[in-house]
Structure 1
């Protein structure tokens, strides 16, 4: 009690908040030792509860290549490609950049040994058709040729495979990629015949999600490309998830530095310009630092990790959270004789209402099942609350001495008197003209819900990725079939039925190549059929060959039990397609069947139609589905924005009564003006424009609140706070508009335009009456 009486309640508040900040600081020190960052674009997307299997497939297929980098070197001839590959690999090794050459040679040998006991159960579709009505005389002649060495390179002994069935089966498995072994490298022939391509595979070491701004792998590959070019003309292509992740991390580092430090510099410059004292600069900077640190800690605590775009977006928080400190110090200028704690108590209702409206604007983002937006909403809301508490608990305790302010600040405060306060006919005329202009601009808006608005990888890297996929015939990870069944055997049988269906109707679906788990592990029923066909044909052939040679040749015994899926999954032989087995889900099992050579949208639609005719098969187009989902959420957010305006107006009506419209209308008009400006500029209208308008609602009404909270002489200094806050916030989100990510660009540009309009319109609707509740 003595200590309480000595310190007083305000001092206890400051001490309690100090303990909280100390805990945040301890967590920050731990977090940055090994930051848990995410750059996966699909982690930002809405979660479709109707497609959990598709989501699992996307995750597993992505994880399969998360450490693999593919490099292709093209030269006019194979000798040139070999020389370029040798120079390139030597340069990468010398760079010590965390890229090691992948060695898959042992996997092929292990796969042969694994499959050998079930050789008789493995047949291609063509072999099955041929063996149903075998020409034993021709097959016997071919078997004799193989026996006498006229057909070499068999993967097993002649007696174990007299018809060479296994050789053709392995050739078809090799057809899953266009790359072929040649002189110790992988070789791909250019479809137009102009180049020979050497393929190098690397695996990454360490994390790509570094925020030091370095491109270790990308720079090492660039240097190696220059070294390869010394051997002659060479074309370099690079692809792989790690390269996109590293490029995204480097870009995120640049944008966080630009937005975060740029916003901080702008805030410091504006605060110094207004107050000409280090104390306001230091205290406001502390509130921003605490706000960002608390936001990061709580986000990591809630979500387990933080997305890179959340940090880029959160950097713009610097331009918002300073409003509380600026409003406090401008009020100090207006009332220099008022004690600091009573002044803060007087300001608290207005600051709390401003915080409430801003947090409501951010939290509406969390209403949508959009993981990336939920992270951003939590990050920004917590950051604002922490900055608010820092200002309320610490500023009166740490703010010592007098505060004179600058002549420019005084001139800005006095300038409010020159702004017209519209009413009557002039108000209605302004509204009519403004509405007509906005209607023309809004009519020019064009909606765009393309998923690529979330993509921020460098264009040249995306171009290389597409070309590598084309040359290597890599299946698309975004369009595929999901096959479901009650048991693993049912899934494998339905995969086989799907392949049979597409093969029986090539006119509609073209000739796409499918990659399925059943290519490697046929169903037990298909294995039994294959075993019967191969046994009957080979025994007939061996009898004819025995007669020709005068020997008694006996077919060796194979494993009579079927090849089990679990045994295959546990072996190195499953490395190529293991990620396509999705395993148990929703009381059944599922797999993904990938497609190679998908030429156009018409072919995709034909595949969709044919695939859906097979029981348990569903077509997945994640890019199309996500774009459609973004469009539906855009419409939903449009309605939520209208509801948000009603909710915010209601909250202000509790404080200001019938005058609440004066704080709300500038933001409503600015939102309409934003849409018109986007139409005039030809900017695509997307979900993120609406999300920005939701935040504009939360932040823009603050300016009207500050002007209604203060009357008389205090209103001029409230206008100074509004102008400083609008300038710093506008600069912050203006820098966000420079982001290379289209979604963040749209977000920042919308808020930049909207805040400028609110700042121009808010003084026009101010109230001169001494008590706003009487209006």
Structure 2
């Protein structure tokens, strides 16, 4: 009999391990981690939502890297290093733009399309209007004065083709209104200790492998610069943070997993004094994580790093299940354990109902979390219930625990009235905290970060040194085609210039400044004089001036050629000098086109004029911070509605299972108290509650349900009651250790999760212990 039992156990264990091996292989080949925080933002339901999310999730800004070079070297050496690094990066096709303040770059590296189309897209007064006889005379005299002054003209090599300096004025119009300090020909920080650079990668922001290669390539090029000896390179920006977050999440997940594994193994070993049980107890947890990750990867195509990291915390939550099995199955008969299995599965079912609320949110990251957690807990509970008992040694008995009997004998037994008083005190405290601090929800998207605070502060410092304005406010227009967008943007140019002149806005940027609509380009083309007429005007303008007309033949050729050009479009500028800025301000949005006008220095008095300006032409005003705040506020409303629905379903499930108002009330009371007190403590400690805190409260609810159900479970005798106390205490201790490690994380999101659940475990365990009541069997 013993041999047959041993053989059956070996087959069962082998089969379990083989299935886990296949799941591990599948996840290894198919699991694609993601660090895109926008997956924790909702799907847009309105046009404004879609515009807002397109800017948060993608676009050129998400592909921009900020570089800062410093060291104990003279300013000239820093400038040399900046020029050397920029020159090497510009030769790499992986970078769409490299800017370090070298103003003559645009003159040296001519964009053929910009130069060829200068009369159709350049400033009207310096290009088309400059072709009259008086304007030509003034332009030729100005060129002559530049030569006579001894100062070399920036574009003297193009004098024959561009005597009016049309192209020079076009290039000057491309210079942003806000630029960093410029010394020795490159950008410097205000204190002169660092040179600054902005690099835009060619790869999409979501392509983390390409972003990682770009970051590594920049560092490698810098490390091999002769000019970079003794200097340091700092990087910042979304792409750099995404790469860093990916590695940081992997590293912290590994470290936390090892630390949590050691802690939980130690707790199990102390509680059950069996190495075999410790190793077996890990199998349901690994099964839950493997199944949950595989299911999320299959359904969503990828798994967010935060979702995966939180999935690892199932080691703390799902550990309760094997602990309950060990505590109650050792030496007990089927009759004694029947109510245990019923309680275990009831606790699992109610917890999964809570996670189901997340699976149907409009936030992909939270949906992933709901699916992973629900699938993981179901797997862990079922394997614990149906596989672990068959693998436990028949001779195993629980070690004697004198401290457990002492705890059971000495713990206070509070009445339900005391519990209600605690609940009322918690609600009163919560109301007081909210009334003093205001809205408890954190709606600033900048606080929802996987990036350590030190990195965020470095990014803010570099942006401040670059003189980058606050462009969280903008105008936008959506139309069916590119031409319609450009026409509407052109229409508001005079009004925006007027608002800037009045000081209501500090500045604005719009693609219509350099890329007029096809209709406008056609009108400029029609206004160009024919060759014979222009030749006559030029001859008259050059009278008594020393210029030879034959040298100006390229000018006549270019104007004549411009009369046959088709209008320039955004796609024609994709790889040119302004391609990056055009793609930032004019971009596809689904099947439509989106035009953006970032605004800087917007005063409160400017909001009403901007809103009034926006309406007639189909242009809209958008404050990105207010917009994201509204989206996140909508998240809290949506999530709370689903939580309330889930709470109602959980209460109904408990009512059907427990069948008694008194028992239902005593089971629910410590759960509600724990949630209220945890929420209140979070606001006191953190100042506000973000989506990670709120999601973590689901974990707290699940643990509180487990503790309260088992401590209020009808016990056959005092030994049975002690086994329930043991299983809850060991489970609470292991979960507390797991989330305590998570609370030490340097990643704000993981730290928020760890703090919330650690506080929740403490409240739930204490309340369940103090309010538990012994019920007779049956």
Do both proteins adopt the same fold according to a TM-score greater than 0.5, normalized to the shorter chain? yes
Query: Shift in Å at residue 248 of structure 1?
Result: 1.7
Is the counterpart of residue 371 in structure 1 residue 364 in structure 2? yes
Q: Does 1:53 align with 2:51?
A: yes
CA pair 514-601 structure 1, distance change in 2 beyond 3 A: closer
Q: Which moved more, 1:165-174 or 1:638-647?
A: 638-647
CA distance in 2, matches of 1:271, 1:431: 35
| Contact 1:290–1:387 under 8 Å retained in 2 | yes
**Number of the residue aligned with 1:675:** 679
Gaps of at least 5 residues in structure 1 are none
Residue number in structure 1 paired with 2:167: 166
Distance in 1, matches of 2:173 and 2:493, equals: 14
Name the stretch that deviates more: 258-267 or 487-496. 258-267
Which residue of the partner structure matches residue 628 of structure 1? 630
- 1:338 alignment counterpart: 333
Q: Tell me by how many angstroms 1:282 deviates.
A: 0.7
> 1:721, CA displacement in angstroms?
0.8
For 2:118 and 2:96, the matched residues in 1 are separated by 32
Once residues 215 and 407 of structure 1 are traced to their aligned partners in structure 2, the CA distance between those partners, rounded to angstroms, is: 60
Deviation, structure 1 residue 261: 2.4
Distance 1:475 1:375 in 2: 36
Mapping for residues 314-353 of structure 1, pairs under 5 Å: 314-333=311-330, 336-338=331-333, 347-353=340-346
Deviates more, 1:582-591 or 1:174-183: 174-183
- Unaligned 5+ residue runs, structure 2? none
Give, in whole Å, the separation in 2 of the partners of 1:58 and 1:648. Answer: 36
Is 1:260 paired with 2:261? no
**Residue matched to 2:122:** 123
Residue of structure 1 in register with 2:694 after alignment: 690
Q: Which stretch of the first structure deviates more once superposed, 174-183 or 15-24?
A: 174-183
Between 71-80 and 369-378, report the one with greater CA deviation: 71-80
For 2:647 and 2:503, the matched residues in 1 are separated by 50
1:558 aligns with 2:561: yes
**Structure 1 match to 2:33:** 37
Distance 2:290 2:470 in 1: 40
Matching residue of 2:593: 589
In structure 1, which of residues 705, 725, 728 is the aligned counterpart of residue 709 of structure 2? 705
**Contact 2:253/2:309, CA 8 A, preserved across alignment:** yes
Q: Secondary structure at the match of 1:562?
A: coil
2:389 alignment partner in structure 1: 396
- 1: distance between equivalents of 2:156 and 2:292? 60
Encode CA deviations 1:353-395: one digit per residue, 9 max, x unaligned.
1111111222222333222222222221121122123223421
Counterpart CA distance in 1 for 2:270 and 2:214 is 38
TM-score (structure 1 length as normaliser):
0.82
1:419 is matched with which residue? 411
Q: Does the residue aligned with 2:508 lie in a helix, a strand or coil?
A: strand
Structure 1 CA distance, aligned partners of 2:591 and 2:80?
54
* CA RMSD, 1 decimal: 4.5
CA deviation vs aligned residue, 1:652-705 (integer Å, no higher than 9, x gap): 111111122221111111112223333554632344433333332222111122
In 1, the alpha carbon distance for the partners of 2:516 and 2:452 equals 41
Q: Conserved in 2, the CA contact under 8 Å of 1:692 and 1:750?
A: yes
CA contact (8 A) 1:454 1:741 kept: no
CA separation of 1:118 and 1:29: change in aligned 2, threshold 3 A:
closer
| CA distance in 2 between partners of 1:546 and 1:508 (Å) | 41
* Equivalent in the alignment of 1:753: 759
Structure 2: distance between partners of 1:222 and 1:733: 41
User: Within 5 Å, which residues of 2 pair with 1:236-385?
Assistant: 238-333=235-330, 336-338=331-333, 347-385=340-378
Looking at structure 2, the residues matched to 201 and 522 of structure 1 have their Cα atoms a distance apart, in angstroms, of 27
Q: How far does residue 130 in structure 1 lie from its aligned partner after superposition?
A: 6.4
| Shift in CA distance, 387/218, structure 1 to aligned 2, threshold 3 Å | farther
Instruction: Out of 35-44 and 123-132, give the one that drifted further.
Output: 123-132
- Name the counterpart of 2:774: 768
Give CA deviations for 1:128-181 in whole Å, capped at 9, x if unaligned: 796599844534533555798976332774343221111111122244774799
Q: 1:577 is matched with which residue?
A: 581
Stretch moving more, 752-761 or 452-461:
452-461
CA distance in 1, matches of 2:362, 2:236: 31
Question: Given the superposition, is the C-alpha separation of residues 689 and 157 from structure 1 closer, same or farther in structure 2, using an over 3 Å criterion?
Answer: closer
2:733 is aligned with 1:727: yes
What is the CA distance between 1:567 and its match in structure 2? 4.9
Structure 2 equivalent of residue 480 of structure 1: 474
Q: Decide whether the 8 Å contact of 1:259 with 1:316 is kept in 2.
A: no
1:599 matched residue in structure 2: 601
- Quick check: 1:85–1:200 contact (8 Å CA) kept in 2? no
Cα offset, 1:534, TM superposition: 5.8
Mean CA deviation greater in 657-666 or 508-517: 508-517
Conservation of the 8 A alpha-carbon contact between 1:439 and 1:676 = no
Partner Cα distance (1:7, 1:194) in 2: 76
SS of alignment partner, residue 505 of structure 1: helix
Determine the structure 2 residue equivalent to 1:406.
399
Give the direction of change, closer, same or farther, for the CA distance of 1:147–1:227 in structure 2 (3 Å limit).
closer
Bigger drift between 572-581 and 494-503 goes to 572-581
Q: How does 1:500-511 map to 2 (within 5 A)?
A: 500-507=494-501, 510=504
Counterpart among 378, 387, 393 of residue 380 in structure 2:
387
Q: SS in structure 2 opposite 1:368?
A: coil
Distance 1:202 1:638, change over 3 A: closer
Q: Map 1:136-285; keep pairs closer than 5 Å.
A: 136=135, 137-142=137-142, 152-154=153-155, 157-175=158-176, 178=179, 187-188=186-187, 197=195, 199=197, 217=216, 238-285=235-282
Distance 1:219 1:358 in 2: 48
Q: Distance in 1 between matches of 2:534 and 2:146?
A: 14
**1:146–1:158: 8 Å Cα contact kept in structure 2?**
no
Instruction: Kindly provide the CA deviation profile for residues 738-771 of structure 1, in whole angstroms up to 9, marking residues without a partner as x.
Output: 2334444333323222221221222344343323
Q: 2:425 aligns with which of 433, 436, 448?
A: 436
- Give the Cα–Cα distance (whole angstroms) in 1 for the partners of residues 768 and 391 of structure 2: 32
State how far apart, in whole Å, the 1-side matches of 2:428 and 2:311 are: 33
Q: How many residues of Structure 1 are paired with residues of Structure 2 in the alignment? A: 742
Contact conserved, 1:214 with 1:250, CA < 8 A, in 2?
Answer: no
Q: Is the 8 Å Cα contact of residues 631 and 687 (structure 1) preserved in structure 2?
A: no
TM superposition score normalised by structure 2:
0.82
Q: Is the 8 A contact 1:678 1:684 kept in 2?
A: yes
Shift of 1:317: 1.2
Helix, strand or coil for the counterpart of 1:577?
A: helix
Q: Indicate which of 739, 748, 760 corresponds to 2:745.
A: 739
